[in-house]
Amino acid sequence: MTDGYIRVGRVLHGTTAEGPGLRTAIWFQGCSIQCKGCINPHLFSPRGGNYTPVLEIVEQAVSTGVEGLTLIGGEPFDQPDAGAELASAAQDQGLGVIAFSGYEYESLRTREDRTSDFLASVDLLVDGPYQAWNAETRRALVGSGNQRFLHLTDRYKTYRPEIVANRVDVRVRADGSIDVAGFLDAKGLSALADLTGTSRTYRKA
């Protein structure tokens, strides 16, 4: 059972770089998959990040006026209780839910924990591990060709990752820290690192 909290690496409200429309992106902390070549190793540990009230994230998302949430990682389905609560609370407020997972849908469906509740509150599931040797060259949002867009509801049926462009959201905060969202390939990451003087970037599952 969840205590109403979720362990997150980062929350970014009001981004257009993580799916259709204006979204709140939530990077779950902890990933048991640890794909070779993942550029988010800082999200691997389940003990890092911030322990944050689920309802606080949803309330802030609603007040920002976003269309929905994008749950990325880390691995959202490593926290099935909190993920189920977060996705359900978001849908109760009329928000759409897109979730990325390094696990395949068929595998998630065999679980006997609250993963089924979590999936029941997801509109679009993007599944499959990142495969560095199988780089995606055509579709937006995903890093490798094996990853699938599975519409669990009709909400995002018109979203076509093969015809939309990847967007990148770069924010420089008052303290000089830099937030990056969206997908960049190796060339883009290198260019951004040169531009900002940092190598810290983020990729979805």
Residues interacting with ligand SF4, by CB under 6 A? 31, 33-35, 38, 40, 43, 73-75, 102, 129-130, 205
Q: Kindly state the smallest distance separating residue 133's Cβ from ligand SF4, in Å.
A: 13
Cβ(25)–Cβ(164) below 8 Å: no
Closest of 75, 98, 67 to residue 28, by C-alpha: 75
| Angstrom distance (rounded) from CA 115 to CA 11 | 22
Q: Kindly state the smallest distance separating residue 31's Cβ from ligand SF4, in Å.
A: 3
Q: Which is nearer to ligand SF4, 34 or 190 (CB)?
A: 34
| Angstrom distance (rounded) from CA 109 to CA 197 | 42
Q: Kindly state the smallest distance separating residue 37's Cβ from ligand SF4, in Å.
A: 8
**Nearest residue to ligand SF4 on Cβ basis:** 102
CB half-sphere exposure, 199, CA atoms < 13 A: 5
Rg (CA), the chain: 16
CB half-sphere exposure, 98, CA atoms < 13 A: 26
Q: Kindly state the smallest distance separating residue 145's Cβ from ligand SF4, in Å.
A: 14
Q: Which is nearer to ligand SF4, 31 or 66 (CB)?
A: 31
Q: Kindly state the smallest distance separating residue 39's Cβ from ligand SF4, in Å.
A: 8
Q: Which is nearer to ligand SF4, 80 or 102 (CB)?
A: 102
Q: Which is nearer to ligand SF4, 103 or 159 (CB)?
A: 103
Sign of CA dihedral 181, 185, 189, 191: negative
Cβ(165)–Cβ(151) below 8 Å: no
Q: Which is nearer to ligand SF4, 121 or 147 (CB)?
A: 147
